Structure 1
């Protein structure tokens, strides 16, 4: 098992969560110059972020995380950070369902009821249920059709993420490929960069977050600390998959 530590809640100064990177092999025919391109390695995402040393006790959390990572042997789970300046101007409560947590001290727990002796708890959620269906839009691109949205509004902006849910646990996240508007009935067809592959989608969340497991690229960051001024930890990450490590992942959240 490889330990995967969730990244702590710290003050982020800059964050880069790009589309997946696909290395390619390229050659050209010497006679006619024709270009030949094939995928060379497995597609994976890369990510970089800059953490404030002073905001939200960032330096302390970063030094503790470096201890946990053991020089880069262990991994981190990262979640994309939303930028309100790049989002559609529709409240979250009208674009998504959110599972409600309750807090004891500094620890968050899912708020749920148990029905009788059944194995499945009844989760408490807030927001709006958005029924969804996987479709192809009028131009032939992969899309997801979402209903129960506010009518005649810009409900998703290009570059945001949309989540398709099979249930409250199983989900897929895709990037929105163009601005999406709802019609007078509150229905929007949201074009995505890649088709959803879940067998069944019962609902969607707009303004969603993407996430993944990453390894540190290069050495763990060092951050010289000037007196009375902020300083930064600069991280570079590359995605790792569970089938690439012996025994898979063991998730750890030491900040709860």
Structure 2
């Protein structure tokens, strides 16, 4: 994929250009319209399609979406069931479009809490799109950044205990290489919709130098036009990475 030079990240690198999004506001969108929360989640799935389709034209090579956090299990059982049902529907209906549009899908997060049939759907979606070379779409499902860090520490500790890793050799690259996102570039920008201004336990290590954009738009109303506006905002910022 060739990136439009006008859209190239301001740190001077042409690629990759990685956008991470916390999709927030489905419930408020539905409540404002007198609709059940499930209607907001369904419209939110339409927003996912719009953003995925718009990303390549904006120079986005990697898109990571926070689909279901490890804290979302605390929601009412009925809503959790609706969310998981919508995920099944998305996987059944959208994987063919991802294949057609050369989008590679990856899942990060703990899958063991999902039902066997959903785990199978996730694995099948990844397998069917694994050879695609266009947009890299990552869905974070049953994901929490602190848990990811705990798991990473355990992995490195086992390697040290087994004599496979010298603790003095552990550096930032070692830690990054043991994360779930080990084969992804760090996000250049994090977008959170709905006006909330927090990162909610999402990619905490990876976002060390990400630009933060807090959009007032509720996720179901977010689309390619809104993404383009966020990209323009990002491109107008100067990224120094601690330098002058």
Higher strand share: 1
Larger radius of gyration: 1
TM above 0.5: no
Q: Which has the higher contact order (CA 8 A, sep 6+)?
A: 2
Higher helix share: 2
TM range (shorter): under 0.3
TM-score by length of 2: 0.22
